[in-house]
Structure 1
């Protein structure tokens, strides 16, 4: 496979791509045209029969390239008569034979169609790039037109989400949003993702999560698992797996202070707003969607085959002066077959996972009441050997109702998800990379596990240890609103969530070599039960009015929230039979690792004032007064706020009729947000059971000291951005610069050991800065009657820096951080080549004391976080055929794969045997070589370019020309995820950087969607 990468020094590559994207629509502008409506011909009734002024009933269907369009306004020009299309895109309206029908929908070109005596008028609407500025954006407590927003908000809709065969909501966002960096933590079923919105603000690894809001209900992203019970993933179970992507209508990410300050202490790391699908008026509609997918590992590193491996081992013993191989060297002393070869990556992680999904929905309703009910079921196997499966089922319900006078409205939505995940308790990826290629067969002739006379640990034995998870999750929300006056509305949002997780990990005696004679009394079980419930109530007042050329909108509200978490971690040891290992009561010894209950209470008041004058100048002020139970007395309340402003300079008289510049906006914002992601009771004296009995009584021991000064982290955010549209917005370009500073860091301040405590939770006077540039580009390259081509491009470059840290040199973080450098750095030895005499790696003595030490000589700084990242999406529509594909790209460095000292009983990359920069092999007797190897692992010599371009997603959809009924629609589709990866990183998947865990999977899906 040809490899591609952003090579160091090849600065012209992204510039060339940028110029290409800009010039393409310019050169093709001559072929861009406003698409005329395709009006279907139907029976025309002569006007002489009907009469020129006689009223007739006109019916028809409105469609776009995706199918029927509900919610389209159909009106009679010059009259007050109007209606909207139902869920199947149908309408019915009374008019005369000479009237003109007007079809309008936000984001689409408005059509004026003469009736001309017809009784059926059906049309196709086309997306209008200019009208997209009129689309409403969800900003959380309020919505705003795209062209009028003063904050930084990125959005993807269901049209992008439904084309991806993924199960985690964060996977749908990868490569599609500027400033949003998402990395997959594991390719195992149910594996989690990590997300950073505009960098890392907190020094605490767990303090950088954004706030998730589902239909107005905060959704906690805190992990719900335990290290003792976690499965194959490198992180604990993420509750975000409970959010079903197929039920999502849109995802908005709020990034700057103007957009996030209204969320106060919870918006420091950005806000992810998830809006689920809602019912629409019209006749009852049914949708059935089913697909089958197959998944496999994306990339695996090339490892030594048997002859290369044995040659390395033999040379290693020769270098050590050993001529008679020791008894334990089974791979090279003849105990194992020297002609045997097994590709362990293929054997242990080379399987094909099968994924099956089925979704059905029913929706409809009247103009006053609409409903939607949908269900989804998904099963997924693994690439590991064995019968493991991940099952996920979900139900979604939505109901909207409005009174006859439109004064009272109610919206209710509920989502329920049930997950059942049975996986190996250990990931086989690491052992597949290191096991000798001539190791014995996995099975004996009778099909039992082969232990080869106790000369190895059969890797399949660990599959006897299982991770089992049961998660049930409910979120519900009700919004009640009443129009008190024409310009005044009262609204209350009520939300509830309930999550129950039950995890277990078994370690039966059958996972050990039978030669050890271990019975079921050596079996063990670890369990973790977590229950998390929360409720929220948010009453609000919304007021708006127009004064001359100005318009004022005001919002005042409050928040009351409570979250209760209960956890119980239990262990059992010694079972009479392995058949009883899942029954904790059958264990002979039982222990309680943790049993606690925490309550988090939150109270806030928030407000927003927005003033717009003559659709040119916009001022937006937001604020929030927060109170959190997570801080000490006198520190529980804080105030956060922001000011955002925008100038729509394209509406100035000088530019209003400009034929080149169709839209121009300059916006800026500044404000503060906070961070309370520290867990509960961190400021209090807390105690735990000592586990030690004294005179028959178990005592308590202190685990945390009281600190009444424990307060909020504060994040100050600044942004300036330019948004421009050219050629009727067919070329739309935005550029933004941001500068965020997070101070008053919540960390553990080290204490002397004499105190009995390692640290005191406190606010550290350290400041972390994140700055960066974000660019997005949307081009309508062609827009004709039968063919459309649009392109979306985004790129982000960010820089993280520790601005200040008083007393850093004397703190325990002196070896971790450097003022003026990113907080994500790694301190390394500086590799200076190989000793010309011994051939052993050499490193710089940075402090000149003649001795290499980790503290004194690891001065070279490496930052493995991405330097820039982004995505390039293209969409083609040709009549009934639609093709979408997305390329994701990342510029980054990573460590070279270093599985162990070359020459020892660990397989290596094939490049090790071909490299001239390889020090002498050793089987373990050469201490100088071994020491140099481990220093090389932590040196800049082991860092290499891990940049990549990945065909992240591809989707091909075809509408079958089948007409069973007028409402029937059949779509066939094929989809792919992580399809191709172009990189010069030789150590497997560059996103995963040879982490030892299962990398992302390559997924191919095929399905059919029926609507009737």
Structure 2
């Protein structure tokens, strides 16, 4: 019994001793030293730490480190952003030298989806990306110009050649019945743009096509690191109601882990308007005018027919196209970029200035200047990261208040613009001198300030807490001056007739998005999840003022000096938006990918009954090239090195209807009752007003051949938009014409997209790469109940595309009467508006582009060819009646006369023939004015050479020569196959750039 007690006591003592020795062993610290190298060079800034321990060391310039560790079986981890993570078991070693050999693959493209990043090969959605190499150093103001022809499924159309103008961008077609319902969401560094249009259309109309100015004019293309477009449901559903029309993500440049680097860019370019059409000369023009009077049976020319009655010189000829918009002009750009950084902190700053003149001469032109400043900082242990960004841009656009392009059809023998003394020529009051209209000026000044911060903290292993927040302010001032000096002095107009129009818009918006994400890997499984919250608010204050009757024109720019002052608009608009979203991604064995996305949105644009809506999507992909069939067959693997099939389905929504549309509103009247201004109801209340919804479906295959030297992606998509927000007609007895409501109309967009890229040849000194894209879009109105009684009855047809026009069917010119003839489509024996039933599709049928890049050592050559197959309105649509005092294109000289009965155009008339007038009106509403406007354009050619200097503080000098819109091949009868109407066509630009790197 005593022996057992002694044994028990000994056991206890042994156990205690073992625990003490174990604790001592675990707590004993020791120092590990070593050197980290790669490619036989020391690596600075490598983080070295023990797994499960907070202490961190960092290698110095010699690659040396020193770290204290403790515990049994310690494991060291070596991390550097340019190399793969390396793990080493310490054992009993005290010196550990590490060779980092496996660098990150340069072809491992990382795509930004806004809320998370994904490797290009592992994405389940459709995301297109352009890098800064494809966008920078081009002689353009807007990044959309540089992106034209480079992206499948993305249609980008420039509205006008005027600087500071707008662009139409559509991602996979038009989903809404309303023109303003198909804008994509554009986000810059995590902050949405706070407007779709940065101009007041009532002031800029007639100057800028559609009265629009692109908000992306405020972003310097040279500051952009990447331009990504999210298309399908899997990619856009996480943006919920904002992603129905696609999402554009723009990321600006960041600093790098390098010593201080400075770069100076100097650019000078010369631009000239493209010309695709010629006009009649003086003999041709005068003959047309004389034929018009003769066929109208007018023998004696009227006193106002100055071009043919002898008042104007019949031998004079002026090329008004060249005179008004044909002049070459200079553009200049300067940018200074500074960047630097260490492993923990990198920063980037750019200061830029750009000037673009116009063919109008004088002081008309566009200026942009501003700066971009950002920083990325992370803690030594890499658990905390913060990235603030600030950019500011000032745009000053000084233009004539009417586009002079409309003046190119003046009579060819009209008088000179100036007298011999240099004064404006009014030719004895017979000539309304268009140059006088240069006194009518339009100025737009736009200040854009944006501040954004993105931060994250690893609160637990693989658990990240993130916050994205941003604020944007836009201050917009527009001024339109119409002084009395713009009119013929013989009208005796004085400053009392002068008018000023002012517009002021102040936009403030903010966004806050907290987010938490978690990821885990085990064996062949990998999971990543995130949940987040979006809170957003926009406030607009819009004022439009008008002043007239000034004491002097010197005071016209101060509305306080106007004796008559009027407030045309004073409105305040508030928009609030909130959302809760989540994502779950599962990856099994790197072969099978599943992505689930959900979002619940709330918008202030809807009534309380339908303020919130749910959206979501599921995407899946199978990387079949990782199956054993390929991995075990080297020949097959070398031929088809990558193969993936992916598909997605989901819903997104839209609230692009404007604010307060569901409320009953009242408008002040212009009449007084007993000295009091009255009000009248202008909109009916509709609490059931709700979201448009788009269901997106996609299937795609991605293939890489010959170790991915050749890549081919094919995608098919179908988007169906329902619950359309339209005006439902009401009976006139209600006092309202319509009620804003959701209507069970359904719009479908389908299409095929193809993307091809290849590395044709590559060695140490020469490389040739080619890429191409093709898009075949189709749209259709699937259903619309009682369409014939709606406001869209003359716009759409069920079963037909969305981009149709209902027109008369043109037959011919009657050889007997010389009058246009049209088909009696309803067969009632007469021709009227009921015969305007022929459906003609207008717009793009398919489009694409192909680019080539050649590089030999420091010499680089690249070019981009863009093509569009489309139908548009011809020049005829924008011209007046053939025969009046306006010039015509040469192709219209084939008009009817008794000697030319087989003509393309009807008899000219001065306006005195009612049949000719009626036929002309119907002609402009017929299929005859919708013509083929397809074109192939050599969009950009760039040749550059880099001179490595490495002396006197200058590292390199790069010279770049390029041409924009160099050659356009088209059969289009009009000013420009891209720009519609009598607006300034696109420009041909030759540019020279010098980039000095210090």
> Could you state the TM-score of these two structures normalised by the residue count of structure 2?
0.89
Give, in whole Å, the separation in 2 of the partners of 1:865 and 1:807.
26
For the 8 Å contact 1:540–1:556, the answer to whether it is kept is: yes
Classify 1:127/1:195 alpha carbon distance in 2 versus 1 (closer, same or farther; 3 Å).
farther
Structure 1 stretches lacking a partner, 5+ long: 1-52, 63-69, 76-81, 96-101, 108-124
User: Counterparts of 1:55 and 1:874 in 2: how far apart (Å)?
Assistant: 44
Residues 57/262 of structure 1: CA separation in 2 closer, same or farther (3 Å cut): closer
Residue of structure 1 aligned with 2:721, choices 739, 742, 755: 742
Match of 1:310 in 2: 286
Report the equivalent of 1:929: 916
Task: Tell me the residue number matched to 1:874.
Answer: 852
Over 3 Å counting, the alpha-carbon distance change for 1:958 and 1:94 in structure 2 is farther
After superposition, the C-alpha distances for 1:188-218 in whole angstroms (9 at most, x for unaligned) are 1111111000000001101110111111111
SS at match of 2:322: helix
Cα deviations across residues 78-130 of structure 1 (Å, max 9, x unaligned)? xxxx99999xxxx86469xxxxxx999699xxxxxxxxxxxxxxxxx9999xx
Aligned: 1:166 with 2:111: no
RMSD: 2.7
Give the structure 1 partner of residue 607 of structure 2: 632
Residues matched between the structures, number? 917
Task: Give the conservation status (yes or no) of the 8 Å contact 2:555–2:561.
Answer: yes
1:907 corresponds to which residue? 887
Render the CA deviation track for 1:31-74: whole Å, top value 9, x for unaligned. Answer: xxxxxxxxxxxxxxxxxxxxxx9989999999xxxxxxx99999
Once the two structures are superposed, the pairs formed by residues 27-66 of structure 1 within 5 Å of their partners are: none
| Equivalent position of 2:803 in the other structure | 824
Distance 2:419 2:184 in 1: 51
Q: Secondary structure at the match of 2:733?
A: helix
Query: Of the candidates 183, 208, 212, which is equivalent to residue 233 of structure 1?
Result: 208
Other-structure match for 1:885: 863
Indicate which of 818, 822, 827 corresponds to 1:843. 822
Answering whether residue 332 of structure 2 is matched by residue 363 of structure 1, we say no
CA offset digits 1:492-524 (Å, max 9, x no partner): 111111111011111111111111101000111
Are 1:987 and 2:967 an aligned pair? no
Give the Cα–Cα distance (whole angstroms) in 2 for the partners of residues 840 and 170 of structure 1: 45
Corresponding residue of 2:982: 996
* Higher-Rg member (1/2): 2
Q: Which residue of 2 aligns with 1:941?
A: 928
SS at match of 2:510: strand
User: Partners of 1:903 and 1:912 in 2: how far apart?
Assistant: 11
Preserved contact between residue 82 and residue 103 of structure 2 (Cα < 8 Å)? no
1:210-359 matches, cutoff 5 A:
210-230=184-204, 232-234=207-209, 235-359=211-335
**Aligned position for 1:5:** none
Partner Cα separation in structure 1 for residue 381 and residue 322 of structure 2: 66
> Could you say what secondary structure the match of 2:240 adopts?
helix
- Indicate conservation of the 8 Å contact 2:34/2:64, yes or no: no
Q: 1:437 aligns with which of 412, 418, 426?
A: 412
CA distance, structure 1, for counterparts of residue 134 and residue 809 of structure 2: 45
How far 1:766 moved relative to its partner? 0.4
Counterpart in 2 of 1:551?
A: 526
Deviations 1:555-589 (A, max 9, x none): 01101111111111111111111111110100111
- Following superposition, the deviation at residue 607 of structure 1 comes to 0.2
The match for 2:703 is: 724
In structure 2, what is the Cα distance between the partners aligned to 1:211 and 1:60?
A: 48
The DSSP-based 3-state class of the residue aligned with 2:237 is helix
Q: Does 1:660 align with 2:611?
A: no
Does the Cα contact within 8 Å between 1:369 and 1:401 map onto a contact in 2?
A: yes
Aligned to 1:588: 563
Per the alignment, residue 120 of structure 2 pairs with 146
1:366-765 maps to which residues of 2 (within 5 A)? 366-432=342-408, 434-656=409-631, 657=634, 658-765=637-744
Q: What is the rounded CA distance, in whole Å, between the counterparts of 1:902 and 1:710 in structure 2?
A: 49
> Are the equivalent residues in 2 in contact too, given 1:875–1:883 (CA < 8 A)?
yes
SS at match of 1:960: strand
Tell me which residue corresponds to 1:1011.
997
Alignment counterpart, residue 955 of structure 1, candidates 942, 947, 964: 942
In structure 2, distance between residues paired with 1:485 and 1:912: 76
Q: Deviations over 1:158-188 (max 9, x none)?
A: 1011142111122121101000000001111
User: For residue 183 of structure 1, what is the aligned residue in structure 2?
Assistant: 157
Distance (whole Å) between structure 1 residues aligned to residue 622 and residue 700 of structure 2: 11
- Which moved further from structure 2: 607-616 or 954-963? 954-963
2:839 maps to 1:861: yes
From the superposition, tell whether residues 555 and 729 of structure 1 become closer, same or farther in structure 2 (CA, over 3 Å).
same
Structure number with higher relative contact order (C-alpha < 8 Å, ≥ 6 residues apart): 1
Deviations 1:890-935 (CA, angstroms, capped at 9, x unpaired): 0011233211222221111111224632322222232222322222
Given that 2:36 and 2:59 are in contact with CA atoms closer than 8 Å, whether structure 1 keeps it comes out as no
Does structure 1 conserve the Cα–Cα contact (< 8 Å) formed by 2:83 and 2:102? Answer: no
1:972 equivalent in alignment to 2:959: yes
For residues 162 and 533 of structure 2, the distance between their equivalents in structure 1, rounded to whole angstroms, comes to: 41
Distance 1:975 1:103 in 2: 39
The answer to whether the 8 A contact 1:349-1:385 is kept is no
Cα 1:342–1:689 shift into 2, 3 Å: same
Q: Is the 8 A contact 1:221 1:240 kept in 2?
A: no
What per-residue deviation string (whole Å, max 9, x for no partner) do you get for residues 761-805 of structure 1? 111110110000000000110101211000010010100110000
3-state secondary structure, aligned to 1:252: strand
For the Cα contact (< 8 Å) 1:900–1:906, is it kept in 2? Answer: yes
Q: Does the 8 Å CA contact 2:500/2:546 hold for their aligned counterparts?
A: yes
Alpha-carbon contact 1:742-1:768 (below 8 Å) kept: yes
Shift, 1:452, TM fit: 1.0
What residue is the counterpart of 1:35 in the other structure?
A: none
* Partner Cα distance (1:859, 1:73) in 2: 72
> For the Cα contact (< 8 Å) 2:689–2:742, is it kept in 1?
yes
CA distance 1:146–1:325, change in 2 (3 Å): same
Q: CA deviation at 1:754?
A: 3.5
Q: Tell me, in whole angstroms, the C-alpha distance in 1 between the residues paired with 2:370 and 2:58.
A: 31
Question: What are the ranges of 5 or more consecutive residues in structure 2 without an aligned counterpart?
Answer: 1-32, 49-55, 66-78, 85-100, 896-902
Alignment counterpart, residue 192 of structure 1, candidates 159, 166, 186: 166
Cα deviation 1:5-32 (Å, max 9, x = unaligned): xxxxxxxxxxxxxxxxxxxxxxxxxxxx
Rounded Cα–Cα distance in structure 2 between residues aligned with 1:459 and 1:168:
30
The secondary structure found in structure 1 opposite 2:399 is strand
